[in-house]
Amino acid sequence: MQRFAIGIEFSGVRYRGWQTQQAGVRSVQETIEKVLSKIADEPIILHGAGRTDAGVHATNMVAHFDSSAIREERGWLMGSNSQLPKDIAIQWILPMENDFHARFKAQARRYRYVTYINPYRPALLHKQVTHAYYPLNVELMIEAAKKFEGTHNFESFRASSCQSKQPVRHVKHCRLIRHGAFLVLDIQADGFLHHMVRNIMGCLLEVGQGLYPVEQIDAIFAAEDRKAAGITAPPDGLYFIHADYPEQFQLPKLPLGPHWLNMPD
């Protein structure tokens, strides 16, 4: 059996998230597994670096699979992309040693949340960004984003259905960047809870609208209660952009963020 790592780009609009679910529910994982299984002529199971909600996108979701099929790397890549739907593409594939695991070897994961600030809704970016048609105090939002850096109990910022037994996470950075009409939240942590990024962004949007002061975030953390926090931001503008692995695995380094948005790292 040979282990392979792959990098996947996808639009989550038509899918109920990354993870395979019950029959009849379309997921990114199951869609790719079906194609790889045809190419390998044997059942293929994918293991991803993380999970994404329904409607969430990815620019470089890392996953791995094992196969006894003898195929050239180009054959895997070209064969897969010729059969996958147009909203999913495998960007690269590499043979790996068996000690590589897309989920358990990931040291950190990184997301970007893109908000488009304009009184009028976009058409070409429909479902690719979250539209903020209302005024926002971006300076306050930038200040508020810093509150999420460091080690915290994120009980107030996870979904009530979250199954993780440990709500404490270390956020390496959480920064908000204004880029023309786009407002981009860039956040990296050792792990994320269900809806954690969307709940953080919902909080920042409420701060930007003046619904409560920046200092209120401290009280929300202290409450350790989801009801103490604000809205869950829509999935439309959320992108899984990167997972960090030990250098020994030598995975490709790709541009971060949506290709249509020239964001600095």
**Residue 38 in domain:** yes
- Whether 116 and 129 map to the same domain: the answer is yes
Can you tell me the distance from the alpha carbon of 150 to that of 78, in angstroms, rounded to the nearest whole number? 42
Q: Which whole number is the average pLDDT over 140-152?
A: 97
Instruction: Please give the mean pLDDT across all residues of the chain.
Output: 93
Query: Is residue 105 within 8 Å of residue 251, measured between CB atoms?
Result: no
Contacts of 70 (CB under 8 A, 6+ apart): none
**Residue 250 in domain:** no
Residue 40: what are its φ and ψ, rounded to 5°?
-80, -20
Which residue is catalytic, options 41, 53, 87, 218? 53
Name which of 101, 120, 116, 94 is nearest 185 in CA terms.
116
What is the 8-class DSSP label of residue 132? E
**Residue 259 in domain:** no
- Whether 74 and 140 map to the same domain: the answer is no
Candidate from 21-35, 42-56, 108-122 with smallest mean pLDDT = 21-35
- Whether 139 and 228 map to the same domain: the answer is yes
- Whether 189 and 149 map to the same domain: the answer is yes
Q: Which whole number is the average pLDDT over 82-89?
A: 96
pLDDT for 261: 64
- Whether 113 and 33 map to the same domain: the answer is no
**Catalytic residue status for 53:** yes
**Residue 83's CATH number:** 3.30.70.580
**Number of separate domains in the chain:** 2
219: tokens are: 């009280």
- Whether 120 and 157 map to the same domain: the answer is yes
**Residue 251 in domain:** no
* Side chain identity at residue 25, one-letter code: V
pTM of the model: 0.93
Q: In 3-state terms, what secondary structure has residue 140? A: helix
pLDDT for 264: 63
Please give the residue range of the domain that contains residue 140: 108-240
